[in-house]
């Protein structure tokens, strides 16, 4: 069911971006012959939130540089907050780190994406106290996630765009906050 929803949403975004002759659409900014360094920089990121018994807050700003019109590379920062109220006391943890990514535009605004995201993850280990109860110890570790996938960029202005990506963490493990598939919707703006 969830996969059908994602496939339908992705299809609608691609279909809505097709240039129809009877309709005026927003197009990518015109290519400049000798753009300055600042003209090649984009800023943006992803925000995510879930509230309730399980609360998740994701703040991930990023910056990218257009090396060529088809190849972009960039860096990002990630902060994740997680709280699970099903436990007593509540389980809460924070993760933070960075990312390095590359995008190659295969055809128009359709792109392939590769990302390395090391995150410092905090969590609790639970141990038997010998009298039928448990005690917990806060621990932390570095998790090294490698994500591969692709997406689509939709222009929403002359220099602003949104993107939809579907990624797969090829290094998914117990401590990784990312579960496959990873779906991101983000926004960006060029200088």
Reported as a single tens digit per residue, the pLDDT across 54-73 is 888 889 999 999 999 899 99
Question: Would 162 be classed as within a structural domain?
Answer: yes
Q: Which two tokens stand for residue 88?
A: 């007593």
| Residue 98 and residue 78 in contact, taking contact as beta carbons nearer than 8 Å | yes
Confidence (pLDDT) at 13: 45
CATH number at residue 117: 2.40.160.20
Confidence (pLDDT) at 176: 81
Question: Would 11 be classed as within a structural domain?
Answer: no
Q: What is the 3-state secondary structure (H, E, C) of the chain?
A: CHHHHHHHHHHHHHHHCCCCCCCCCCCCCCCCCCCCCHHHEEEEEEEEEECCCEEEEEEEEEEEEECCCCEEEEEEEEEEEEEECCCCCCEEEEEEEEEEEEEEEEECCEEEEEEEEEEEEEEEEEEECCCCCEEEEEEEEEEEEEEEEEEEEEECCCCEEEEEEEEEECCCCCCCCCCCCEEEEEEEEEC
Higher pLDDT, 131 or 17: 131
Confidence (pLDDT) at 9: 46
Question: Would 25 be classed as within a structural domain?
Answer: no
Cα distance between residue 184 and residue 178, in whole Å: 11
| Residue 121 and residue 141 in contact, taking contact as beta carbons nearer than 8 Å | yes
Question: Would 166 be classed as within a structural domain?
Answer: yes
Confidence (pLDDT) at 3: 45
Cα distance between residue 75 and residue 24, in whole Å: 34
Confidence (pLDDT) at 105: 96
Confidence (pLDDT) at 27: 52
Residue 7 — very low, low, confident or very high, per pLDDT cuts 50/70/90? very low
Question: Would 9 be classed as within a structural domain?
Answer: no
Question: Per mean pLDDT, which of 37-46, 91-100, 104-113, 159-168 is the most reliable?
Answer: 104-113
Domain that holds residue 130: 39-190
Confidence (pLDDT) at 29: 56
Question: Would 4 be classed as within a structural domain?
Answer: no
Predicted TM-score (pTM) of the model is: 0.71
Cα distance between residue 168 and residue 68, in whole Å: 25
Residue 99 — very low, low, confident or very high, per pLDDT cuts 50/70/90? very high
pLDDT tens digits, 25-54: 455 555 556 678 888 899 999 888 878 888
Mean pLDDT of the chain: 80
Question: Would 33 be classed as within a structural domain?
Answer: no
Question: Would 156 be classed as within a structural domain?
Answer: yes
Domain tally, the chain: 1
Confidence (pLDDT) at 28: 55
pLDDT tens digits, 108-158: 999 999 999 999 988 777 777 777 777 767 788 899 999 999 999 999 988
Confidence (pLDDT) at 2: 44
């Amino acid at each position: 069911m969830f996969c059908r929803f994602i496939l339908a949403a992705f299809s609608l975004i691609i279909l809505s971006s097709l240039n129809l002759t009877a309709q005026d659409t927003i197009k990518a900014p015109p290519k400049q012959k000798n753009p300055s360094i600042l003209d090649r920089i984009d800023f943006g990121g992803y925000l995510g939130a879930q509230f309730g018994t399980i609360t998740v807050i994701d703040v991930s700003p990023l910056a990218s540089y257009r090396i060529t019109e088809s190849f972009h590379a960039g860096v990002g920062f990630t902060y994740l907050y997680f709280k699970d109220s099903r436990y007593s006391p509540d389980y809460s943890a924070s993760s933070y780190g960075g990312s390095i990514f590359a995008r190659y535009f295969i055809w128009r605004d359709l792109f392939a994406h590769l990302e390395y995201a090391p995150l410092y993850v905090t969590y609790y280990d639970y141990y038997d106290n010998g009298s039928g109860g448990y005690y917990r110890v806060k621990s932390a570790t570095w998790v090294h996630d490698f994500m591969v996938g692709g997406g689509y960029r939709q222009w929403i202005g002359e220099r602003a765009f949104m993107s939809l990506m579907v990624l797969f963490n090829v290094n998914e493990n117990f401590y990784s906050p990312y579960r496959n598939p990873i779906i991101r919707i983000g926004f960006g703006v060029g200088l």
